[in-house]
Amino acid sequence: MACSFGVVENKLYEAEFFLEKIQACNKNDFEVRYYFSAFVSASRSVTFALQASMKGIDGFDTWYSIAREKLNLDPLARYFVEIRNIVVHKGENPYNEVPLEYLKLYLAAQILHHDQSDVLLVPNMGDNNGCELINAKQACINYFKSIILIIFDCYDKFKYIVDPKWYFTESNFNRNGKSLDDALDELGFPRDWISHITPEKEAWKILRSREQSCIINPIFYKYLDVVIDDPDDSEMENY
């Protein structure tokens, strides 16, 4: 493999860990602010890990510049970047912090509409002026989904590099002018270990059976309702 995608996978699960802690907290649990601080830092570091993991991969810089621009156009994503900087560099935490000028609006929602949700004060998503109070827990989920979408798109585009099962496909090695013998060499096996197996695609399946399927598929499915196909399930390895 050209590089390890494991740092990205670990950071994504780390961010989800704190997100789930936030969702499980009641409104008056003081721990929720700690979990929020950890979540914004962990989720922000996912894209840092992505850039470090994919450094030097042909085509990644061009792809990521487009992906980053899309993220920059998302007001909520921009806001969470600002939150991360405030949390890290100033030590402030905006979770359930309601300025005096918005207190009346906040109390009205609490009393009149029985809205007991946690809140964040964010720039008005539909207007360049002013701010609005939004559901903090839902905002965290929405932001996390935007991060997951970037990781999924990257994984899908570069799966022959980041996914061991897709890497060890006949089509991938043929595309790079390599053969089954080269795959065996990379794995440290003698060239005649499975060379007698016919048809050859069965030998490739044996090699892939030693590799783990996409370990962040549970996250992709839970939040986006999509998964990275397994080459042996999709029969796409010949394309």
Please confirm whether the linkage preceding 199 is cis (ω < 30° from 0): yes
Alpha carbons 163 and 172: distance in angstroms, whole number = 12
**Average pLDDT of the segment spanning 232-237:** 61
**Would you call 97 helix, strand, or coil by DSSP?**
coil
Alpha carbons 158 and 164: distance in angstroms, whole number = 11
Same domain, 16 and 84: yes
Same domain, 142 and 187: no
- Which segments of the chain does DSSP mark as H helices, in order? 6-24, 31-53, 60-72, 75-90, 103-111, 136-157, 159-162, 164-167, 170-175, 180-187, 200-208, 217-224, 231-234
Residue 140: CB partners within 8 Å, gap ≥ 6?
19, 22, 23, 36, 39
Which tokens is 78 given?
């921009």
Q: Is 90 within a domain?
A: yes
Same domain, 184 and 85: no
pTM value is: 0.86
Q: Is 102 within a domain?
A: no
Q: Is 105 within a domain?
A: no
Tens of pLDDT, residue by residue over 4-30, are 899 999 999 999 999 999 999 987 788
End-to-end, the C-alpha distance of the chain in Å comes to: 20
Which residue range(s) make up the domain with 222?
Answer: 163-234
- CA-based max dimension of the chain: 77
Whether the CB-CB separation of 94 and 120 falls below 8 Å is answered with: yes
Whether the CB-CB separation of 116 and 110 falls below 8 Å is answered with: yes
Same domain, 153 and 62: yes
Tens of pLDDT, residue by residue over 169-207, are 999 999 999 998 899 888 888 877 776 776 788 888 988
Same domain, 150 and 226: no
Task: Look at residue 43 and tell me whether its pLDDT is greater than 90.
Answer: yes
Q: How many residues does the chain have?
A: 239
Same domain, 182 and 87: no
